Amino acid sequence: MTTIAPPAFAPKIFVSDLSAYNNGELHGVWIDIATDDVHDEIQSMLSSSPFTLAEEYAIHDYEGFGSYQVGEYQPVDEVIKIAEKIIKHGAAYVGWISVADDDEIADDDKFGDAFIGEFDSEDAYYEDLGETYVDSFKAGLDEATRSQFEAGIESAIDLVRYGKNLDAFDVRFAKVLGPGTFQVFAYRRHV
């Protein structure tokens, strides 16, 4: 398995004052979820509104969430929770939220259970899986048989095809970091 260090993800949201927005003015603030107190920043922005009694806000932009789409009126605490997981797990979690459904994202255990690792390509994952199975098989052989296997049969095995045939999971691949890096998530097949 190839492990590639993920870049630092810094989820941010742009929160707008709806009183100002509805009156044709843009009054809002970019909030860095990793370093700012989100609720305090929102209240401070609303307090400095050019309109009295500004109470309502919306998330009008965001970055650092990968392909996850933050909703305009999504509860801020829900956005913070997802952002904190992105900050903690980096590219792996960004990949997760691109392939998981809402129920899976809400279940904290699903990510850890499903994440297998990062690979250079889909075939690299299957080759690694095939190699793991072959190594396991060889470990059960006596030394003479293992030597014969390594000298002859092993070189004829297409590890990628073997890995694909042996895979007991529904595998989801997420491509987050650009060319050459895939996050791999697996789910047990229901047979």
Average pLDDT score over the chain: 84
Residue 16, Cβ density class (10 Å: 0-12 exposed, 13-18 middle, ≥19 buried): buried
pTM of the model: 0.73
Backbone angles phi, psi at 46, to 5 degrees: -65, -40
Q: What is the pLDDT of residues 64-75, one digit of tens each?
A: 888 789 999 999
Backbone angles phi, psi at 72, to 5 degrees: -55, -40
**CA 179 to each of CA 6, 124, 175: distance values in angstroms, whole numbers, following the listed order:** 13, 14, 8
For 7-28, give the DSSP string. PPP--EEEEEEHHHHHTT---E
Q: What is the predicted pLDDT for the residue at 1?
A: 36
Cα 49 vs. chain centroid, distance in angstroms?
36
Q: What is the predicted pLDDT for the residue at 79?
A: 94
Q: What is the pLDDT of residues 120-133, one digit of tens each?
A: 888 888 888 888 88
Question: pLDDT tier at 2 (50, 70, 90 boundaries)?
Answer: very low
Q: What is the predicted pLDDT for the residue at 191?
A: 38
Q: Are 15 and 31 in contact (CB under 8 A)?
A: yes
Whether 181 has a pLDDT exceeding 80, the answer reads no
Q: What is the predicted pLDDT for the residue at 8?
A: 55
Residue 40 tokens, joined: 């305090």
Whether 98 has a pLDDT exceeding 50, the answer reads yes
Beta carbons within 10 angstroms of residue 136's beta carbon: 9
Q: What is the pLDDT of residues 5-25, one digit of tens each?
A: 344 578 999 999 999 999 999
Domain layout of the chain by residue ranges: 1-89, 90-191
Q: What is the pLDDT of residues 30-42, one digit of tens each?
A: 999 988 899 999 9
